[in-house]
Structures are given as C-alpha cells and as structure tokens.
Amino acid sequence: MIEEANVFDQIGGLPVHALVVHAAVVFVPLLAVGSVIYAMVIPWRPRVGWAVTILAVLTPVTTLVAKESGEQLLDRLRERGLSGRGLEILTDHEGYGSMTFWFSLALGLVTLLMVAVARARRTKTMPRVVEIVLAVAAVALAVVSGYYVYRTGDSGATAVWGTY
C-alpha cells in the first residue's frame, strides 16, 4: 500500500517543522512590533503600512505551517515510542504553538482591518472610534502573540536542548 504524502511531514528526510519554525519565531514579533507602531505612531503609517500588510498575511501562514508540521513531527515521535516527560513537554509545546497560531491570525486580521480603516479615515468615511478600538485590539493581541511565541519557543528549546 502506498502511503499518502503529507506536505507538513518531511522534505528530503528532514522534518518540515525544523525548517519552518524559525520563520514563525521571527515573523510573530515583527508583526507584533509593526502593528503596535502602526497603531500608535500615526505619522509613520505611510512608511510601515506596506510592511505590516505583508506581515499580517505572511505571519499566520508561517505559524500555521509550523503548527501543522509540528503536529506531524509529534505524531512521528509518538509512533516511535516517545513517552514520559519528553512527551509532556512536547504536548505543552504543541498547545502553545496552537495558541500562537490563533493569536497571530487574530493579530494579522486586526492589522489588515486597521490598515483598511486608516485608509478609509483619510477620506473621512470611517468614525475615529473604529480606529481606536482596532488600535487597542492590535496592541493587546501583539502582547498576547508575543507571550505565546515566547512560550512556544521556550518549550520547544527545552524539548530539544533541555534535560527531562
């Protein structure tokens, strides 16, 4: 029987997770900082709008690929008999990774809305309160996304390099 190929499993014998995880580790903080700057420093919006727009799309994609490939890697390790403390650490890591994805997705969507509303505000078609609510949401989501990407990375590093 031929096994179904999974794009999130391996590339050239290497786990996809090991190849993509660092993109998420870089893009989540960049999106978080960029979104806060966009929300708080109005004169800089024309200069950073293009960057936060790209990051708002790219970041959730990279976190999704990291999450899905991590799940494939964890399944592979379970099949090979991983148990005990190592499995507990990786299960926590998986949970943090899922939260990182969902919060980075929310931050990306709020950032895209914030950019769209800022453009609409230039033509005075959007009430200022909408812009303020989105800015507050972006700052809150940036903080939570930063927290979860840290916890995900820390638990992943513990799983790979720590003792358990």
Is 5 a domain residue?
A: no
Number of domains in the chain: 1
Residue 20: inside a domain, yes or no?
A: yes
Place of tokens 């927290």: 147
Task: Reduce the DSSP state of residue 72 to 3 states and report it.
Answer: helix
Lowest mean pLDDT among 1-5, 42-46, 77-81, 94-98: 1-5
Using alpha carbons, select from 107, 16, 113, 95 the residue that is nearest to residue 60: 107
**Do the domain assignments include residue 9?**
no
Q: Is residue 90 part of a domain?
A: yes
Is 141 a domain residue? yes
- For the chain, give the mean pLDDT: 90
Q: Is the pLDDT of residue 1 over 50?
A: no
For 11, half-sphere exposure in the C-beta direction (CA atoms, 13 angstrom radius) is 8
Within-domain flag for 7:
no
Q: What is the pLDDT of residues 9-66, one digit of tens each?
A: 777 777 778 888 999 999 999 999 999 999 999 999 999 999 999 999 999 999 999 9
Give the gyration radius of the chain's Cα atoms.
Answer: 19
Q: Greater confidence, 59 or 162?
A: 59
Residue 115 lies in a domain: yes
For residues 111, 113, 114, 116, the Cα torsion angle rounded to the nearest 10 degrees is: 130
pTM: 0.89
Q: Domain for residue 55, yes or no?
A: yes
Domain that residue 114 falls in? 14-73+83-158
